[in-house]
Structure formats: structure tokens, C-alpha cells
């Protein structure tokens, strides 16, 4: 408890929020770096997963990739990439990408695959193009699951991005690692608390987005009848 | 006119859905393809709008091979009604009905107005326009499916067991309404069902199919009832059963029609 109080004191100390080493800067680095990783994972994983879900081809590959990649220890990867690429953001970026890709890919694939095939068949039979089926039917109906995949990727990346400091001195891993090295445990715990808070915040944002997507995918569950709606 | 010319469908795994099938369907007529599962009837239906391409032979609409037409264009020019309507769950009833007109570039407002008209036409309250499919009963969803199929004013309607998912009372009602609607719009309708009564209720002509889409008999409902071609057709239509063998009994000076179990089914008007 004592240590926890010290950590809170450390967090509240204005000196830690000023200068070139300000915590605000670490937080921004942490968010920015995590966001880039998740965005790149989304840019690769969503199209790939969607395509596999839509065509039903490459299912085996996706199961192997998502299962296998999840078993890889990120710290080990980071070390290998670090030895290969040297100091800098490249190694942690790659290691985190390997961490983020499986949930994004699995979410996109599972989401699109779970859309009722009869609905898709009907859309095709009345004359929607494959593109229109994908954009107008499969993606909106799959959106809650796709966003669920992003959510889980984002959480893992935010909590694991502390490792970036191990090799490149970036983000909220810095107070954690320097605290460890210098036995300043208030600093170490303070940094961890910030990471946890950040993760909770991101979780909350994703929850909001996900339920908005669910309302669009299943509007009848939440819709008020027109007669009861207040007209603006 | 829709012509099936010696079509065959064999899947890569060797399954033959359709052995060899030929049929000409005249315009403005309702033709029911009836058979049990495995008879290839749905495969035949789906050949018309190129959801399935035949391995051999061809399907022609007004003398044009469908294979020479763009799939999407072709499908938009043909109304398609599926079991349970096949509606898009995340779009309102009005948006579902207006799907094809909007894709074809019709203005939203006009498409919506037309959709409301179509809903009335199939016997639905326009107050349902802003509901979602899951908020409707099975019969209502089915009607929306018919309205959507009519939205682009196609010459041809394909119906795949459209009234299979609703209870018998609603089905009777939908069949009656479909007859009234057809009397009005006169589309060329190809209709697939496993229910011989539905085929008789709606078809101007009925084609009874065996496994592999082999034609067991083709004729008007009356012709088939009068002279089933063989044992298979006879048992399929239930010839000889109590339901199909009606007799007249005189009751209080009127002719009451009774079935084989002496159950009255109606009164004969002369």
C-alpha cells in the first residue's frame, strides 16, 4: 500500500509532467505508437480477413496464422528483431504488429463468415455486385465482430507497447524500465498505472464504437417505433 | 419466353443436379416446377438468372442466351423471391424494397414513394415501411420479398419456395393474393416448390420432376390430376387418396362434394 501511495505521489508530482522528460510526452508517444501499429494491422488484417470470409478461400491458412502467431512471445520476437534491425522503433513495431495482426484478422474473417449465407445469396440474386455485397451487406453486418477484433488488438498493443522502451526509449515503458534499473519502484509502478488507465480508456472508447456498430447491424433490437420517436 | 435447351448441371465433385432438361415457358404464364429435394428444381430456377451456369446446354430469354448477358444486369432485370423473403436485416422495409431501383440510379425520394406503393400493392400497411425485417411476421416478410421483386418492374419473376416458411393459413392467403396480383400484372413466373398443392394452386402449368430434373409429367393441374403419367406422378399428386377422390352426395336437394373418407369439402354449383 505504501508503495502504491508513493507511486500516486510520483504521478502527481508536477516535476514529472514538465520538461523534455514530461509524462504527457510519454503518453502521447505511447498512444501514437500503438495507434500506428493497430492502424497498420487493420490495413492489412481487415481486407485480408474480409476477403477470406467472403470467398471462403484460405480458411486453413488463417487458422494456422492466428493460432501460431498468438503463441509467439512478443519479448522474444522483439529481441530477434532488435538484433536484426538494431536500436529504434522498427523492431518493436514489427513485434507488436505480429501481436496485433491475429485478432484483427480473426475478427474480420469470423465477422464476415458469420453473416448469414442466405442473406448474401439473396443480395447476389437480386443483382448486387460482389463489391456492393461486401460494402453494403457483409461489412455492416460484420462490423461489431470486426471492431471486436480491433479492440482486442488495441488492448494487447497498448499493454505490450511498454516493451518498445526496451529497445528504443519510447512511450510509457520508459518510466517502467528506468524505474526497474534504478530501483525507483514508485516510478515503475506509476508508469504501470498510467498504462493500465490508458488501456481502460481505450477499452471504453472501443466499447462505444462497438455498440454503435451493433445498433447499425441489428437495428431492430434497439429501435424505437416511429410513432414513439420524438421528431426533431 | 424462357427456354431451357438441353441444360445439364454437373458439379466438380461429380454430383449431377440436372441430367438433361428442356422446357419452354411462354410469356405471362405461371409455371411451377415441383419435385422433392434432389430433383434439381432450384438449380433450374437459378440457371435463369445465372446464379448457376449450366455445364451443357443453354437458357434463353426471348431468344437471347443468358450467358451472353452481364450477370448483374440480368439479375436486376428479373424479380427474385426467396423463402423468408431473403431481406437485408439491417435495412428498413422501404429500403429493402427500393434496393434495386436505388442501385439503378433512381432518386431516393422517388424510390421510397414507389416502394410505399408496392407495399400497398402486396397488402401491407405503409406504416411498416420504417420497420426492420425482424420486426415483421413471416407472412409480412414474404410480402415484402414479393414487393422487392416487383420494384424494378421485371418481366420475369423467379420464386424459390416463397411461401414455404409460413404457416398453412398464411400460405393459403398469400397464394390467393399472388393469384390476384398475377391476374393484374401478368408476369412470366417460374415457381419452385415441393408442395404439389401449392403448384396446383398457382401454376397455369405444372412440371413434375424426378431426381436429376427428369420431367415425369408436364401439364395443367387438371390434366395431371386427370391422367397422372405414371406411378411416380400418381403417388406424388396423391391420386387415389381420400383427399383426391371426391364424390357427390345429395343433401337437402343440393350436391355436396365429399372426399374418400366421406368428409364434405364443398358444394357443387351447377
- Residues A45-62: tens digit of each pLDDT: 999 999 998 888 888 888
- pLDDT per residue over A7-21, tens digit each? 888 888 887 787 777
Q: Which of A36, A117, A108, A35 is nearest to A65 (CA)?
A: A108
Q: Where are the alpha helices (DSSP H) in chain A?
A: 2-12, 23-55, 59-71, 74-85, 90-114, 117-125, 130-133, 139-160, 164-168, 173-181, 185-217, 219-222
Of A24-33, B25-34, B49-58, B89-98, the one with minimum mean pLDDT is A24-33
- Is residue B109 within 8 angstroms of chain A, CB to CB? no
pLDDT of residue A232: 34
Give A6 or A149, the one with higher predicted confidence.
Answer: A149
Query: What is the band of A227 on the pLDDT scale with cuts at 50, 70, 90?
Result: very low
Q: Which of A123, A127, A216 sits opposite B88 (nearest CB)?
A: A123
CA distance B35 to chain A (A): 21
- pLDDT per residue over B151-164, tens digit each? 989 999 999 988 87
Length of chain A equals 232
CA distance B75 to chain A (A): 5
Q: Do the chains contact at B148 and A126, CB–CB below 8 Å?
A: yes
- Is residue B99 within 8 angstroms of chain A, CB to CB? yes
| Ranges assigned E (strand) in B91-187 | 156-160
Residue A25, φ and ψ in degrees, nearest 5: -65, -40
- What's the CA dihedral at B194, B139, B147, A222 to 10 degrees? -130
Q: Please give the average per-residue pLDDT across A139-146, as a whole number.
A: 94
- Is residue B84 within 8 angstroms of chain A, CB to CB? yes
- pLDDT per residue over B125-172, tens digit each? 999 999 999 999 888 999 999 999 999 899 999 999 888 778 888 889
Specify which of A22-36, A164-178, B204-218 reaches the highest per-range mean pLDDT: B204-218
pLDDT of residue A222: 55
Q: Which residues of A touch B151 (CB under 8 A)?
A: none
The model carries a pTM of 0.82
C-alpha cell at B236: 406424388
Contacts of B165 (CB under 8 A, 6+ apart): B83, B84, B138, B142
Q: DSSP class of residue B81?
A: E
Q: Do the chains contact at B132 and A137, CB–CB below 8 Å?
A: no
Q: Which residues of B touch A119 (CB under 8 A)?
A: 86-89
Q: Please give the average per-residue pLDDT across A142-147, as a whole number.
A: 94
Q: Which of A118, A127, A216 sits opposite B86 (nearest CB)?
A: A118
Q: Please give the average per-residue pLDDT across A116-134, as a whole number.
A: 93
Q: Please give the average per-residue pLDDT across B247-256, as a whole number.
A: 89
CA distance A220 to chain B (A): 6
Residue B196, φ and ψ in degrees, nearest 5: -60, -35
Q: DSSP class of residue B195?
A: -
pLDDT of residue A225: 45
- Provide the 3-class DSSP secondary structure of residue B46: helix
Q: Which of A119, A132, A223 sits opposite B86 (nearest CB)?
A: A119
Q: Which of A119, A125, A216 sits opposite B49 (nearest CB)?
A: A125
Among chain A residues, CA nearest to B159: A125
C-alpha cell at B161: 419456395
- pLDDT per residue over B71-115, tens digit each? 999 999 999 998 877 899 999 999 999 999 999 888 889 999 999
CA distance A200 to chain B (A): 31
Q: Which residues of B touch A126 (CB under 8 A)?
A: 75-76, 80, 86, 99-100, 148-149
- Is residue B73 within 8 angstroms of chain A, CB to CB? yes
Q: Which of A122, A124, A223 sits opposite B132 (nearest CB)?
A: A223
Query: What is the band of B117 on the pLDDT scale with cuts at 50, 70, 90?
Result: very high
Q: Do the chains contact at A127 and B76, CB–CB below 8 Å?
A: yes
pLDDT of residue A25: 85
Q: Do the chains contact at B88 and A226, CB–CB below 8 Å?
A: no
- pLDDT per residue over A171-215, tens digit each? 888 888 888 888 888 888 888 899 999 999 999 999 999 999 998
C-alpha cell at A229: 420517436
C-alpha cell at A136: 453494403
Task: Return the residue matching grid coordinates 522483439.
Answer: A78
Q: Which of A140, A141, A220 sits opposite B132 (nearest CB)?
A: A220
Q: Which residues of A touch B (CB under 8 A)?
A: 116, 118-119, 121-129, 132, 137, 140-141, 216-220, 223, 225-226
Contacts of B194 (CB under 8 A, 6+ apart): B34, B35, B36, B37, B41, B161, B164
Q: Is the pLDDT of residue A1 over 70?
A: no
Half-sphere exposure of B250 (CA within 13 A, CB side): 2
Q: Do the chains contact at A125 and B72, CB–CB below 8 Å?
A: no
CA distance B253 to chain A (A): 54
Tally Cβ neighbours within 10 Å of residue A173. 26
- Is residue B257 within 8 angstroms of chain A, CB to CB? no
Q: Do the chains contact at B75 and A223, CB–CB below 8 Å?
A: no
Q: Which of A124, A132, A140 sits opposite B90 (nearest CB)?
A: A140
Q: Which of B24, B36, B29, B13 is nearest to B210 (CA)?
A: B36
Q: Which of A125, A132, A223 sits opposite B80 (nearest CB)?
A: A125
Averaged pLDDT score across all residues of chain B: 91
Contacts of A56 (CB under 8 A, 6+ apart): A113
Q: Do the chains contact at A125 and B84, CB–CB below 8 Å?
A: no
- pLDDT per residue over B2-47, tens digit each? 999 999 999 999 899 999 999 999 999 999 999 988 899 999 999 9
Amino acid at each position: 500500500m505504501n508503495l502504491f501511495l508513493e507511486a500516486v505521489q510520483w504521478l502527481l508530482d508536477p516535476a514529472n509532467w514538465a520538461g523534455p522528460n514530461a509524462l504527457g510526452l510519454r503518453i502521447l508517444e505511447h498512444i501514437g505508437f500503438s495507434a500506428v501499429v493497430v492502424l497498420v494491422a487493420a490495413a492489412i488484417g481487415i481486407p485480408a480477413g474480409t476477403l477470406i470470409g467472403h470467398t471462403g478461400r484460405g480458411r486453413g491458412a488463417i487458422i494456422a496464422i492466428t493460432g501460431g502467431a498468438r503463441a509467439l512471445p512478443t519479448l522474444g520476437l522483439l529481441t530477434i528483431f532488435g538484433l536484426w534491425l538494431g536500436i529504434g522503433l522498427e523492431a518493436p513495431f514489427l513485434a507488436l504488429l505480429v501481436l496485433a495482426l491475429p485478432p484483427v484478422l480473426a475478427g474480420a474473417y469470423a465477422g464476415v463468415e458469420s453473416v448469414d449465407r442466405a442473406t448474401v445469396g439473396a443480395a447476389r440474386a437480386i443483382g448486387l455486385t460482389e463489391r456492393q455485397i461486401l460494402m453494403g451487406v457483409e461489412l455492416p453486418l460484420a462490423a461489431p465482430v470486426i471492431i471486436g477484433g480491433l479492440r482486442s488488438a488495441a488492448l494487447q498493443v497498448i499493454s505490450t507497447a511498454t516493451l518498445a522502451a526496451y529497445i528504443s526509449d519510447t512511450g510509457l515503458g520508459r518510466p517502467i524500465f528506468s524505474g526497474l534499473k534504478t530501483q525507483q519502484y514508485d516510478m515503475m509502478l506509476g508508469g504501470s498505472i498510467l498504462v493500465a488507465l490508458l488501456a481502460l480508456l481505450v477499452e471504453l472508447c472501443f466499447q462505444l464504437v462497438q455498440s454503435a456498430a451493433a445498433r447499425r447491424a441489428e437495428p431492430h433490437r434497439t429501435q424505437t417505433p416511429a410513432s414513439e420517436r420524438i421528431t426533431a | 419466353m424462357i427456354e431451357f435447351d438441353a441444360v445439364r448441371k454437373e458439379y466438380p465433385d461429380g454430383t449431377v443436379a440436372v441430367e438433361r432438361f428442356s422446357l419452354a415457358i411462354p410469356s405471362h404464364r405461371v409455371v411451377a416446377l415441383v419435385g422433392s429435394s434432389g430433383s434439381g428444381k432450384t438449380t433450374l430456377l437459378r440457371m435463369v438468372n445465372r446464379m448457376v451456369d449450366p455445364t451443357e446446354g443453354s437458357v434463353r430469354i426471348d431468344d437471347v442466351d443468358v450467358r451472353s448477358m452481364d450477370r448483374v444486369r440480368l439479375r436486376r432485370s428479373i424479380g427474385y423471391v426467396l423463402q423468408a423473403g431473403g431481406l437485408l436485416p439491417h435495412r428498413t422495409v422501404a429500403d429493402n424494397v427500393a434496393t434495386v431501383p436505388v442501385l439503378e440510379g433512381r432518386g431516393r425520394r422517388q424510390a421510397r414513394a414507389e416502394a410505399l406503393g408496392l407495399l400497398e400493392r402486396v397488402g401491407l400497411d405503409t406504416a411498416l415501411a420504417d420497420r426492420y425485417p425482424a420486426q415483421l411476421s413471416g407472412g409480412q416478410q414474404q410480402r415484402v420479398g414479393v414487393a422487392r421483386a416487383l420494384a424494378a418492374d421485371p418481366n420475369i419473376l423467379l420464386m424459390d419456395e416463397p411461401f414455404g416458411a409460413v404457416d398453412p393459413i398464411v400460405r393459403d392467403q398469400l397464394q390467393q393474393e399472388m393469384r390476384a396480383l398475377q391476374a393484374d400484372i401478368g408476369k412470366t413466373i417460374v415457381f419452385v416448390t415441393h408442395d404439389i398443392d401449392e403448384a396446383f394452386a398457382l401454376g397455369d402449368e405444372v412440371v413434375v420432376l424426378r431426381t436429376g430434373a427428369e420431367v415425369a409429367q408436364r401439364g395443367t393441374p387438371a390434366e395431371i390430376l386427370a391422367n397422372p403419367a405414371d406411378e411416380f406422378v400418381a403417388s406424388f399428386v396423391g391420386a387415389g387418396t381420400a383427399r383426391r377422390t371426391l364424390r357427390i352426395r345429395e343433401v337437402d336437394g343440393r350436391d355436396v362434394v365429399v372426399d374418400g373418407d366421406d368428409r364434405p369439402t364443398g358444394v357443387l354449383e351447377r
